[in-house]
Structure 1
């Protein structure tokens, strides 16, 4: 049997979750989109969210690992290894999952969608990161315990690219972040969407929407610029041949890097909100109606109802 070089996550897997990100992480495990963070929908009562399994298979092992100490997080995280069954690309591979306090044990059989336990808020998280499952896949000959080394992931969905002019109104706030009401999700619950990179060329935001969507761009994914890089998740027809430069509203963000055609190395830039610097933007794909750009701003406070204009400026 030929060696597995990548794993495609079909819509049936991703549709279990409200949001996902391949690149919005500071950890090398996510380099080149080799791991995914899956964000389940919170229950109506707002209590700790259960973690639905993205795969079917047999639990090989669970183990408790020490996490970095943070005042807002628990001291330990947990690793769950599942030997996957078909019918998807993951058949014969080992799924490696983190950030779940397991209610399963070695030898247990799980089906996709079964609860693996409760999500934990571990010290690996930045304070603005919501609870989620970290998932990667290893082939049988790979070490499943190393933090890095998972197979590259491909998406079985085409995220809808949403034009965003950099403006919005604050609709929610936290100690380190604020959520805008824009861009609005056009079809919540039915498809994933994210912020569209408006062109491969800076200073082109005056082009029409149809022109910008035909330029081979895609949906931005990552922490801009507070993590080293991000990704451009392709919509239909886009791929490695798309433009090398990546921009947003005419502001250059960076260049595509590596051989995968979608990783982005951010330029040395600063994100501003109403002309003042903030830590950055959290960019991801979502299918829920509460989707909107997340400002990462522990250095300043916003109030609900504040109007915000976001720009990305080169460092002087």
Structure 2
């Protein structure tokens, strides 16, 4: 059984990703991260509910220790009443400090509480809701075991040459102005692989990625092999990502509808500044020191 999330659910958020996570809960696209904020407002604390239903339970859980994160995270369990695709299922929502309690009724878009940056987050990850769905008879507290998810909205693939100008930075990342969203606020877009399919996931810093609307076989970007797709799941090759010839942690692929969309480079300790021109390539590890403009 696969659960389809359409506009009624995804329309509450600026971005989403099925694969941009190192945790097994996301394996095979069985969980989704929903981002209310844009790339330049990624630390918003708004937590609109993806579903309507009744709160079954809220629970405080221990998170991995990180110097920038609180000690605990939170789990909210919701018995889903709508949309129809999730009716009767139990939604698991993480990373929200709840202002709701067991027995409360919520509608789609109602506030569940306040987003928290738990120790499950890498430092470059923006605030989001982690959401998965279970049948009522399944254990709702185990991290893994949620049903596979399908995206029931069109995701437009945008060609990207691997080049761009830095328009925003944080301590661990930089965002480029390319590719540009052609109609912000409407369609979801993502970076298109060569041929077909929209890339999803962290390359290569997470083991697997995804390809929305793609097919089996070798997945490439600007001629560079990224890995092999089996269905929509990509097993990344052992590759290195370079920015202006320097090896960086990687690229963050996701789907977005906001005007801030652009390629996101993960590079802790970088010295990139707004206005810098950047050229990105992907190659096997032994080619990591080759010039970016080869």
* TM-score bracket relative to the smaller structure: over 0.9
Q: What is the alpha-carbon distance in structure 1 between the residues aligned to residue 271 and residue 71 of structure 2?
A: 28
The equivalent of 1:248 in structure 2 is: 221
Gaps of 5+ in 2: 287-294
Is 2:170 the partner of 1:164? no
Separation (CA, whole Å) in 2 of partners of 1:7 and 1:45 = 29
Verify: 1:106 aligned to 2:76, yes or no: no
Q: Which residue of the partner structure matches residue 82 of structure 1?
A: 78
Structure 2 counterpart of 1:226: 205
Q: Deviations over 1:95-152 (max 9, x none)?
A: 0000000000000000010000010010000000000000000011210000000000
CA RMSD of aligned residues (A): 1.5
Q: Secondary structure at the match of 1:85?
A: strand
Counterpart Cα distance in 1 of 2:270 and 2:131: 33
Contact 2:8-2:83 within 8 A present in 1 as well = no
Q: Which residue of 1 aligns with 2:245?
A: 275
Residue 180 of structure 1 and its aligned partner are, at CA, apart by 0.4
Paired residue for 2:265? 295
| 1:309 equivalent among 263, 279, 289 | 279
1:1-316 aligned within 5 A = 5-41=1-37, 48-199=44-195, 217-234=196-213, 242-257=215-230, 261-316=231-286
Looking at structure 1, the residues matched to 65 and 258 of structure 2 have their Cα atoms a distance apart, in angstroms, of: 32
Contact persistence 1:10–1:88 (CA under 8 A): no
Task: Give the TM-score normalised by structure 1.
Answer: 0.88
Distance 1:46 1:221, change over 3 A: closer
TM-score w.r.t. structure 2 length?
0.94
